[in-house]
């Protein structure tokens, strides 16, 4: 068995065939065929979704008698609303929803689960309204199965 230092720096893999990926007739890279198909499908779907959003915003703005700049503003507004929060109370709420999905429980069962960790329904409702206080950090960490530091980092935006 060769030592880790004895591995060659250059190697070939003749069975790894790559296909070109093009965007508007320009070569952007080479990928394995299965990956290339997935990437192209995802990017094409995203293009169609943005185009549909643009058309919907155009319809809304044209009904109100607005101009092209308003279409871009409206698109950006909707895209921002559709983006998952990465920090703050919204990220904690999303994390709680993921935890519920991991556990595979209903809303009522999850409320009971949270209550067993001293996070009552009233606190969950306050959290959904954007309110969070220091007394919720320990129960949140228990429910989420992480440390208090992890919860604080997500709230402050320095993690996740």
Kindly tell me if the per-residue pLDDT of 145 is higher than 90: yes
The predicted pLDDT at position 84 comes to 79
Domain that holds residue 101: 89-156
Of 83, 98, 120, the position where a domain reaches its end is: 83
The count of domains in the chain is: 2
Q: Identify whether 14 is part of a domain.
A: no
- The reply to whether 138 and 108 lie within a common domain is yes
Q: How many CB atoms lie within 10 A of CB 141?
A: 18
pLDDT in tens, 30-63: 998 889 999 999 999 999 999 999 999 999 888 8
The predicted pLDDT at position 2 comes to 53
The predicted pLDDT at position 128 comes to 82
The predicted pLDDT at position 3 comes to 56
Q: What angle do CA 66, 68, 73 make, to 5 degrees?
A: 85
pLDDT in tens, 62-119: 888 877 788 888 898 888 888 878 888 889 999 999 999 999 999 999 999 999 999 9
Q: Identify whether 73 is part of a domain.
A: yes
């Amino acid at each position: 068995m060769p030592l880790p230092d004895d591995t060659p720096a250059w190697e070939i893999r003749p069975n790894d065939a790559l296909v070109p990926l093009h965007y508007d007739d320009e070569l952007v890279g080479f990928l394995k065929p299965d990956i290339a198909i997935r990437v192209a499908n995802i990017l094409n779907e995203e293009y169609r979704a943005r185009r549909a959003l643009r058309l919907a915003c155009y319809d809304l703005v044209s009904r109100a008698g607005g101009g092209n700049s308003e279409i871009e503003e409206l698109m950006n507004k909707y895209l921002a609303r559709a983006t998952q929060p990465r920090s703050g109370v919204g990220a904690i709420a999303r994390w709680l929803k993921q935890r519920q999905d991991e556990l595979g429980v209903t809303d009522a069962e999850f409320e009971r689960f949270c209550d067993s960790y001293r996070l009552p329904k009233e606190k969950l409702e306050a959290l959904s309204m954007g309110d969070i206080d220091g007394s919720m950090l320990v129960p949140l960490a228990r429910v989420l199965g992480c440390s208090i530091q992890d919860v604080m980092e997500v709230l402050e935006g320095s993690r996740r």
